[in-house]
Amino acid sequence: MIDVIIIGGGIAGLETACTLHTQGIESLILEKEKEIGGKLTQWDSLFPSNRNAKELVETYKDEIQKHTITVYVNTKVIAIKKQNDGTFEIFTSREIVFKAKTIVIASGYSIFNAERKEEYGYAIYPNVITSADLEHMFATKKELKAPSGRTLERVAFIHCVGSRDEKVGNHYCSRLCCVTGVKQAIKIRQMLPETHVFNFYMDLRMYGLGFEEMYREAQEKHGVQFIRGRVSEIAQTNEGRLQLKAEDTLAARPVRMQVDMVVLLVGMEAPECNSILGKSCNIQYNAAQFIVPQDIHYSSGITSAEGVFVSGTSIAPLSVFDTINHARSTALAVSNFLMPIQNE
């Protein structure tokens, strides 16, 4: 019987495992992919400090190794069953059934599928990409060009793609796409000083530590232009440029603009497994399928099912900063829960 099984080896799961270890509690991590690190393995540099994402993942890998925490990769959790004695059986893509006293759900988030916003032409026009694609391009390409090979005279970022949108059923704000748009706009201006960059936004939500400063820097130092208005549609011209339509709501006039590449700032959604795990163990989740903590202020790492905890972006879109802090507090909640059991 293992004390704690952690579902998901993103930074949330990894941090929870490391903090538990320092508390003297051993855990086992189950990760569905072939390596740990979650989304961060795909990102280039992280706001607000510009630090290298791979470097942070490596730091965690070292810690996991140092503490000899066991990780099963290629292991997808498909159901949890609570036993009569309060312990859990965990069913995965492997044949063995895992048994644990407690469970931490750290299954993270999924990226909004931009094809659902057909009017923006993702997967129809080659030069319409997502912020996740651009992050990957930054991380792997030396020279920045549109996917079709065009040089970039003008780039447009579109905010709120898949968030705050009744049409796709996501009412909530993904919270991080605004600052991701600012981070990436700055990066393009630094790599290609001749390129004009425009961000089309509905509201700019710079809620986090250092975000507002980045926004101001984007305006003042990097000349990124922010246009308040939601793009209604994108079409490709005969010359292979992209024509977009919006309203400049501060000028109260429609805008037409041709650009060489469009970056869709895609939102964060709950992964499908949240509702599957939720149902199999009677855990409360909201309409957007994020897991609802028992008390959002006081016990944000505890779920409605006794012995099941939650860590990181399984509860909502969170930055790395917020994810790590949440993961640590969840670890403390788990150790508080296990302490009386261990003292028995």
Partner 1 sequence: MNKFGFSTHASRVIDYETIDTKLISYIVENEPSFASCISCGSCTATCSAANLTYFNIRRLNVQIRLGEFEEIQQEIDKCMLCGKCMLVCPRGINTRNVIMLIKRGLTTLEIKK
Which chain residues interact with partner 1 by CB under 8 A? Answer: 216, 219-220, 223, 225, 228, 248, 250-251, 253-258
Measure the CA–CA gap between 189 and 195, rounded to whole angstroms. Answer: 6
Contacts of 96 (CB under 8 A, 6+ apart): none
Q: Which does 105 bind (CB under 5 to 8 A by kind): ligand FAD, ligand SF4, partner 1, none?
A: none
Q: Which does 93 bind (CB under 5 to 8 A by kind): partner 1, ligand SF4, ligand FAD, none?
A: none
By rule CB under 6 A, what string of x and - marks binding of each residue 18-37 to ligand FAD?
Answer: ------------xxxx----
Nearer to ligand FAD, 33 or 153 (CB): 33
Nearer to ligand FAD, 157 or 198 (CB): 157
- Structure tokens, 255: 């805008």
Is the CB of residue 104 less than 8 Å from the CB of residue 300? no
Measure the CA–CA gap between 160 and 155, rounded to whole angstroms. Answer: 17
Q: Would you tell me how many other CB atoms lie within 10 Å of the CB of residue 292?
A: 17
Q: Which does 267 bind (CB under 5 to 8 A by kind): ligand FAD, ligand SF4, partner 1, none?
A: ligand SF4
Q: Does position 111 bind ligand FAD by CB under 6 A?
A: yes
DSSP code for 293 = P
How many residues interact with ligand FAD (rule CB under 6 A)? Answer: 40
Q: Which does 269 bind (CB under 5 to 8 A by kind): partner 1, ligand SF4, ligand FAD, none?
A: none
CB of residue 227 to ligand SF4, shortest distance in Å: 14
CB of residue 48 to partner 1, shortest distance in Å: 18
Residue (of 110, 41, 113, 111) closest to 73 by Cα position: 41
Q: Does position 181 bind ligand FAD by CB under 6 A?
A: no
Give the H/E segment covering residue 245.
strand 242-248
169 burial (CB, 10 Å; 0-12 / 13-18 / 19+) is: exposed
Give the H/E segment covering residue 5.
strand 2-7
Q: Does position 38 bind ligand FAD by CB under 6 A?
A: yes
Q: Which does 205 bind (CB under 5 to 8 A by kind): ligand FAD, partner 1, ligand SF4, none?
A: ligand SF4
CB of residue 247 to ligand FAD, shortest distance in Å: 26
CB of residue 283 to ligand SF4, shortest distance in Å: 25
Q: Convert 107-122 into a string of H (helix), E (strand) and C (coil).
A: CCCEECCHHHCHHHCC
